[in-house]
Amino acid sequence: MKIALLGNGKTGSHVLSLTRNVQGTGVTVFNREHPPERSALSGHDVIISFLPGDAFMAFIPEIVASRVPVVTGSTGFEWPDGREAFSKRLRKEGLVWVHASNFSLGMNLMHEMIRVLKMSGELYDDYRFSLHEVHHSGKKDAPSGTALSWKQWLEQPVEITSERTGNVIGEHALALDTPFERIAISHSALDRRIFASGALWAARQLLEEDAIDEPGLYDMRQLALGMIRDSIETRQTQNTR
Ligand SMILES: NC(=O)c1ccc[n+]([C@@H]2O[C@H](COP(=O)([O-])OP(=O)(O)OC[C@H]3O[C@@H](n4cnc5c(N)ncnc54)[C@H](OP(=O)(O)O)[C@@H]3O)[C@@H](O)[C@H]2O)c1
């Protein structure tokens, strides 16, 4: 697998370290010194981006023109004309991109838990949600992309607070408060390698022949659910034999 790695900072550098001794995998690094231009990008099997959102956004025309599949973890930017319109554009161009505000595989489990919490309106008359996120002091965007994804999954009003301190990799806690009880779920990233390893997992999925049927913009959960669905189907087939 020939990887074009955009951004070799705190997160992207782990893509390099995790692939260093993997046979058949080569990585070309793009950063400020070596900007990702279309001619240099083309010929790679996949682009993995851990650029800050504003830089990623600026390079979108070059990346699209390279026609290389993309796995991007950049946060703190808006898709040109909105996510749906951008996905439509990729479909038209026949390109597949995957975006995740958090590449930790555990986020798929958090998503399911948030889907359960979302039903609180059917149980309680009086309740409120709050979400607190903590990241290292160098993080540019606030609230974090993960906090915004959780809010979107919750489909309920939620007060988000952000804290920037020290070297914290990423902590998110969502609480549901009623007058008589509190339910809280949280996720802490303990090692920055989880993001690089999740992005590499997504890249491998993307390059599997039948992992994605149609071009467009996907999120990590759609990839993970595709795999879960496949394994359920395999199990069902085995059970009926
Ligand atoms: N989705 C996830 O799972 C996940 C997890 C963690 C972080 N992130 C996101 O990933 C992004 C990067 O985070 P980080 O903490 O790794 O940042 P970082 O340590 O600041 O690294 C940023 C990298 O991007 C390069 N870069 C910045 N501006 C550029 C430009 N204009 N042109 C070319 N290269 C440029 C830098 O190159 P130079 O070294 O040459 O300056 C550096 O290699 C952020 O958006 C963050 O929120 C996502």
pLDDT at 221: 80
* Site to substitute for ligand 1 among 48, 50, 171, most atoms within 8 A of C-beta: 50
73/101 Cα distance (integer angstroms): 6
Q: Considering the chain, what percentage of its residues have pLDDT values greater than 90?
A: 82
The first and second tokens of residue 25, run together, are 């995998």
Backbone angles phi, psi at 153, to 5 degrees: -65, -35
Q: Which atom of ligand 1 is nearest to the CA of 72?
A: 1
Question: Is there a single domain that holds both residue 27 and residue 98?
Answer: yes
Say yes or no to pLDDT of 180 above 60. yes
Largest Cα separation within the chain, whole Å, is 61
Range name among 110-119, 124-133, 191-200, 214-223 with the lowest pLDDT average: 214-223
Say yes or no to pLDDT of 213 above 90. no
Say yes or no to pLDDT of 233 above 60. no
* Residue 118 placed within a domain: yes
202: domain CATH number is: 3.40.50.720
Question: Is there a single domain that holds both residue 54 and residue 98?
Answer: yes
Which among 121, 116, 126, 186 has a CA at the least distance from the CA of 156? Answer: 121
Q: What is the mean pLDDT of residues 171-185?
A: 97
Question: Is there a single domain that holds both residue 121 and residue 176?
Answer: yes
pLDDT at 227: 57
Question: Is there a single domain that holds both residue 86 and residue 30?
Answer: yes
Quickly state the pLDDT bin for 218 (edges 50, 70, 90).
Answer: very high
Q: Which amino acid is at 236?
A: Q
Quickly state the pLDDT bin for 224 (edges 50, 70, 90).
Answer: confident
Question: Is there a single domain that holds both residue 157 and residue 215?
Answer: no
pLDDT at 235: 57
Question: Is there a single domain that holds both residue 199 and residue 160?
Answer: no
Q: Please state, as a whole number, how many other Cβ atoms lie within 10 Å of the Cβ of residue 180.
A: 7
Contact 108, 220 (CB under 8 A): yes
46/65 Cα distance (integer angstroms): 14
Å from CA of 176 to ligand 1 middle: 33
Query: In this predicted model, what pLDDT tens digit does every residue of 64-105 receive, in sequence order?
Result: 999 999 999 999 999 999 999 999 999 999 999 999 999 998
Å from CA of 44 to ligand 1 middle: 20
96/83 Cα distance (integer angstroms): 14
Say yes or no to pLDDT of 211 above 80. no
The first and second tokens of residue 31, run together, are 């950063």
Please provide the DSSP assignment of 199-238 as one string: HHHHHHHHHSTTS-SS-EEEEHHHHHHHHHHHHHHHHHHH
Residue with tokens 């650029």: 51
Å from CA of 9 to ligand 1 middle: 5
Query: In this predicted model, what pLDDT tens digit does every residue of 97-134 receive, in sequence order?
Result: 999 999 998 988 899 999 999 999 899 999 999 999 99
136 is catalytic: no
* Residue 239 placed within a domain: no
23 CB-near residues (< 8 Å, 6+ apart): none
Query: In this predicted model, what pLDDT tens digit does every residue of 5-50 receive, in sequence order?
Result: 999 999 999 999 999 989 999 999 999 999 999 999 999 999 999 9
Q: Could you tell me the strand order of the sheet in which 128-135 lies?
A: 158-164, 128-135, 171-177, 182-188
Which helix (H) or strand (E) element contains residue 61? helix 53-66
139 is catalytic: yes
Question: Is there a single domain that holds both residue 16 and residue 51?
Answer: yes
Q: Per the structure, how many domains does the chain have?
A: 2
Can you give the pTM of this predicted structure?
0.88
Coil, strand or helix at 79: coil
Catalytic residue among 99, 135, 151, 172: 135
Å from CA of 191 to ligand 1 middle: 16
> Which residue ranges have their beta carbon within 6 Å of ligand 1?
7-12, 31-33, 35, 50-53, 55, 73-76, 100-103, 195
Residue with tokens 């395999």: 234
The first and second tokens of residue 143, run together, are 């609230």
Q: Which domain holds residue 141?
A: 107-188
Question: Is there a single domain that holds both residue 66 and residue 150?
Answer: no
Question: Is there a single domain that holds both residue 49 and residue 84?
Answer: yes
Question: Is there a single domain that holds both residue 111 and residue 176?
Answer: yes
128: domain CATH number is: 3.30.360.10
Question: Is there a single domain that holds both residue 19 and residue 96?
Answer: yes
Question: Is there a single domain that holds both residue 126 and residue 209?
Answer: no
